Structure 1
């Protein structure tokens, strides 16, 4: 039976790069971002699902079953494990390992480990402000809107660090900054954890151009055919006005600043204590961020298009609960 490897990270942390490197080893199979465990695991306030049935009723029913039978959670996890192992085995095509790389698994790391106690876990870190910069430039065409990814930058970052502190002996931790600076050393360490010999040998080849599927990094797979440190510090230049630097200083403050420091992440002096004003660019960022958040709160942009298409194709209305 194929064994799963879970790669946990925030979005835009370099996980697709590491996924490509591991795929090139020939030891594993993978497929974009499988994401399926988000449907089966995650039973708390951080997980929000849109459905045409009442999701809250399902949650209530599950709570009733859990109360009525103390074997519910174990039976449920066993069912999810058997289902997913069968799927991983089919996707693996005879390979011993299947790599599941899905960024928002940061929210359900504890449940994944409880469901797959024999799995391997890789946690890839990147400076969270670099992540904020990258999601804005990649998914919002350079408009500074990291708050739209707040669930990742706040809850995801915190849960991932909690997960590593609790299960440090089970988890292999690697930093994106180290991976692109000294890839041979980092891949050698990772190979030892996985039991894959000579993993660093993949560095002599061009990176694969696709990990399959539709989901994943839309830019790096096109921009780089070799591992490169070029993007390691590029995010610092993106914090080019007062609004972006103020956002970064607020984010890296208090308890979060202390915990980030444990990972070796702090704000560079030019961001923490000054920098060019960028008055009008900052005002534009401030206005755009509030406009986008307000619009999304009033009515998500995807919803009208979906409802119109659904009504045209089916002939009746649908609503989400």
Structure 2
């Protein structure tokens, strides 16, 4: 018998270095005590040299997907929610939401963190006992998700030492119903920008990967959901063009709606720490890094507005 160092491990068998002739078919037989002892000795030797143990592969059981329930408002708002009247900026991508965030975050009483994407945080109850326990406690899966979302945002607010939290994640436009279910007292800021400027800005961020027709299709999804939210819920409209042309005036109006006094230092957002500007959780380009409000691009002429965007542009007062 060759030494253990000559052992080669292959898929499904152990080969001691010498090629073996094909095995002829034979009836299956139970392993003898001697064979089992031999395998144990080999396994012990391999484990001693490598730290690994040879075991027979077994199929893994895949847990069944947990059925989703219908989200519902908190049964006891005083006990189930820590936040009171959280603020959500609903906007399409490339509409100036990061600029609005840092302007608001420059206020001594407003905390506007980077995009948090809490709606993507899901809970899975992995065993029957935990499902039984949560049901006995009166919790559905979505109830637990809501409690978790609320706790995460509340932690952000408490750590900031401020009083009002503003979340500006653009994809929240697709989850407005879920947000109002989680926080029935949620408040909304509807951030508008000329639809053609939104599509053009998204296209220019990566022209090769985002041709203009794809940019129109992609950004229009956000715009339609935003318009639906505007029709269903109370809130305040803020236009990007006015925000960059009359920053102080728009911030005064927004602060009054939020119930806080306007602070002149808000305009100089570069004087405050807003964390790193990182791709994926907000704008990260040179304009936002400058620390100053930059002029907006000229508005497109009516004939320059793509046909697919004309209806929403008219609804928002740009045509």
Flag whether TM exceeds 0.5 (same fold).
Answer: yes
Contact 1:27 1:196 in 2 (8 A): yes
Specify the alignment match of 2:151 in structure 1: 86
Q: Which structure has the higher relative contact order (CA within 8 Å, separation 6+)?
A: 1
- Confirm or deny that 1:123 pairs with 2:190: yes
Q: Distance in 1 between matches of 2:273 and 2:297?
A: 20
1:250 counterpart = 2:316: no
Counterpart residue number, 1:24: 106
Give the aligned length.
222
Name structure 2 gaps, 5 residues minimum.
Answer: 1-81, 125-130
Structural mapping, 1:93-108, within 5 Å: 93=159, 94-108=161-175
CA distance in structure 1 between the partners assigned to 2:268 and 2:288 by the alignment = 19
Q: Using the TM superposition, give the Cα deviation of residue 202 of structure 1 relative to its aligned residue in structure 2, in angstroms.
A: 1.4
Residues 117 and 169 of structure 2 are in contact (CA less than 8 Å); yes or no, is this contact kept in structure 1?
yes
Structure 1 residue ranges without an equivalent (≥5): 42-57, 59-64, 267-321
Going from structure 1 to structure 2, the CA distance change for 1:205 and 1:166 (only over 3 Å counts) comes to closer
Matched, 1:144 2:211: yes
Alpha carbon RMSD of aligned pairs, Å?
Answer: 3.3
Residue 237 of structure 2 corresponds to residue 155 of structure 1: no
Local SS of the residue matching 1:26: coil
Give the drift of 1:160. Answer: 1.0
User: Cα offset for 1:141?
Assistant: 6.5
Distance 1:194 1:207, change over 3 A: same
Structure 1, residues 283-312: CA drift from partner, whole Å, max 9, x if none?
xxxxxxxxxxxxxxxxxxxxxxxxxxxxxx
Q: CA deviation at 1:172?
A: 1.4
- For 1:1-321, list aligned pairs within 5 A: 1-3=82-84, 4-40=86-122, 75-92=140-157, 93=159, 94-140=161-207, 144-145=211-212, 147=214, 150-151=217-218, 153-167=219-233, 170-204=234-268, 206=270, 208=272, 210-212=274-276, 214=278, 215-222=281-288, 224-228=290-294, 230-233=295-298, 236=300, 248-253=305-310, 257=311, 259-266=312-319
Alpha-carbon shift at residue 219 of structure 1 (Å): 1.2
Offset of residue 10 of structure 1: 0.6
The separation in 1 between residues aligned to 2:94 and 2:151, in whole angstroms, is: 29
Q: Deviation string for 1:169-216 (max 9, x for gaps)?
A: x21111101111111221111111111111454125536474447321
Q: Whose helix fraction is larger, Structure 1's or Structure 2's?
A: 1
